[in-house]
Amino acid sequence: MARILVIDDDRMMRELYQEILTRRGHAVILAENGTEGLAKVEENPDLIIVDLTMADGDGYEFLKRLRAIPGRATTPVIVSSGQLVGDVAIAGADRFLAKPFRGSELIALVDELLSSSRGTAS
């Protein structure tokens, strides 16, 4: 089980992430925007999922500020968006999840990132 922080300004999306991830046995921390997300980074998530193109556009800002936090430079991050985004590496993320997606696609990405980060940590 992992602790996963989800940042998305769409209520339906947050509910969807929660449903998928809790069924998988993960603990989910929800945030509606980048500022709230940064505050919840204190809860020590193992993985972060952030909507890059939220209405206030602060998904990019969240990533930039997250990477500047000591000890958070390598926390796995999945960015999600319904729009085409540029180089994910530049944005500071590990993976990109295009909306719309299926639950199984999200689970596969989360499993992959969690197992590789655990592999790196051990």
84 binding other proteins? (CB under 8 A) = yes
Tokens of residue 113, six digits: 């990132």
Residue 30 as a binder of other proteins (CB under 8 A): the answer is no
The runs of H, that is alpha helices, within the chain are 11-23, 34-40, 59-68, 88-91, 103-121
Q: Which of 70, 71, 100, 119 binds other proteins (CB under 8 A)?
A: 100
Which residue, among 34, 26, 43, has the nearest Cα to 9 in the 3D structure?
34
Q: Is 20 in the site for other proteins (CB under 8 A)?
A: yes
DSSP codes, 66-96: HHHSTT-TTS-EEEEESS--S-HHHHT-SEE
For other proteins, give the closer residue by CB, 20 or 66: 20
Among 30, 36, 61, 82, binds other proteins (CB under 8 A): 82
Shortest Cβ 103–other proteins spacing (Å): 4
Q: Give me the residues that bind other proteins (CB under 8 A), please.
A: 12, 15-16, 19-20, 23, 82-84, 99-104
